[in-house]
Structure 1
């Protein structure tokens, strides 16, 4: 009997590739996306797909009901992946923009996890995989909203791991660095929506950020394709003992080491060089 896995954020990038790869590996995938046209596209590609907006409680509850019906109350895996990045200096960021970041990247994940966890506990088995970021390990300038959401996710997941000890449910973090996806395009839209680009002491930096995000091909030589996240995802789902954390890409692996080795001021000096 194939195991059911729900994946969020499947319209592109890591979530899209995860949905197809897990189905190829024999899992019964329930792919979710925010926009109806993305759901229709996923269904046309042979996936079971449902609509799920992580910033909307009604959408989350409806998706949970659909998921539990599809899997007959026996959901094995949840891959929390759907998220976006809100660029901008914290002093320029409206509070509503920060709230929106947390609704999609943190509160929605909590609500979804909380509603699905009882089915896993009842079955005494399950896997929850949280797609974090290198920016959940170290902070970078002009990414404060995203940093905060991923730092919160790291603490949340560590806490839930402790609270799940003694149950059959395991929880893991995947911590990618730069991955090729639609993330840049979404960040560009969020920057233009919430930041006054022309009336800030950071305007010169924003102009550089616009140029960077508008590039079709990422300029970072460490950027990997979404497929790089598949081996850790499969291990977290299949291994008898999933790891608490999986780093993906060279920056993620190095930053995980350096944050434990370097004094804070030296680490600040290193990451401050990144725009």
Structure 2
């Protein structure tokens, strides 16, 4: 039996789609009027009345039909493909922020976001370093470790010593013998992390970098495949992890996230704060031992 959506939701969806199409159309017109013919290698001509480019010129530059591009600017296009959006963004010389806004308005995943979360900003690195003596790392939405401070490396292992593809919390929790041995709540953590990853991936299902990472995990671990097939989702929330370090013993750490931006590139500082005085004292001992 098919359950129909509530009436108020059925009314909202066409209205939301209409608003999105109107916003997309207005945004494209504003970007088109900003770009001069000279910027894209076209002659200005003596009778140009339109500020910036004409619609047919944008269509020509992006290899899109004039009628179709006109419909987009008139908010008449029900769905615009990622390929068309990519071509138009290039033709209108959009910067990364404008491009992200374009795809968001169209409700379409950007196929060129592979590199959006692979570089750590200098300011974000400074934040991570300033959190010492507490372990901290900079991660993206896929749980790639972009940078880790020294306490993190001392406690969990140095990500910089691993191949770039392996510098990922989900990969390490799935495959690393060290993480399997030393995280006392590892099985529960893996189930929770996979549920969070599935929830995060809902916004990125068409992006190659996400699907490639998922395929790698599915191919590497039968345990991961079984948990993934449960289709569980979970929110980001603080929690305590137990870690048994071979030198200083049991350390209980509260896991905290601080997002650096509400939009792409989505990066967060993950800090591991001692959950009790014994854990704080053992972290200090570990730092002292490393300094000797």
Structure with larger RCO (C-alpha < 8 A, sep 6+): 1
Structure 2 length as normaliser, TM-score? Answer: 0.25
Structure 1 length as normaliser, TM-score? Answer: 0.26
Q: Which of 1 and 2 has greater Rg? A: 2
